[in-house]
Structure 1
Amino acid sequence: MFETARDRNPRVQLGRGIAPDLADYARDVVARLLAHRGRAAARAHLHVVRHTGTGRSRPVTARAVVDLDGTPVAVHVDADHPREAVDLLVDRLARRMERLRRPPREGGHGLPGAHLRTAERPS
């Protein structure tokens, strides 16, 4: 199936009480981030919701799931205001993408690499 330019634009869903112009802002900043990182063809889906009547200290939740060449990357933030949530989401997504670009650390899973392991004592 052929991919169209519309498929590459980030999809944005807004919950009740979120101004509709936030969708254009979110779409623009995420598209710029992906293009800047050389990932313009990645698919992205964003969802911004305001929780009412829950007593939450940060009532706006934003989530994003981005497909980076077959690797799904999901990020989530809470904020006081919708635009702040989108900005925090983009910052977190940028950090996550940067981490994925780095080569894996030797030793993995938080274990030290071979150059940091304690040498065995001779008998």
Structure 2
Amino acid sequence: MHIQKFFSQSVLVGFSVLGLAACSSVDKDRTAYDDTYEIENTEQTNSAVYACNGIPLNIYFHAEQAQLSWKEKTYRLTHAVSASGAFYLGEGVSFWIHDDSAELEFNDMEKDHCRLVRVES
């Protein structure tokens, strides 16, 4: 009886160690860029259409990121701190949303005023 109990405990410990080793395996092919956020590879949680000086602007939101499309160009934006509304910054572009209006600004130049057309979830 003592041998059977010892054997059962040994098998249980062996499977536990094997299970832990399988869970902690390292993927040697993985690079640092695998953790980089890519908005194209995620399902969007929200999108909105604005009219900026009569030209449609599409913006897709996911977590702290946004993808803005305007005048056949696409910009990646990151949510930034704002006293009111929602503020998104990208390379040379900013987009500020407050209620049903927004402002689009490129390279600290003139601002385009936008109005909300529709929101999609």
On whether the aligned pair clears a TM of 0.5, the verdict is: no
TM-score calculated relative to the size of structure 1: 0.30
TM-score calculated relative to the size of structure 2: 0.31
**Structure with the larger helix share:** 1
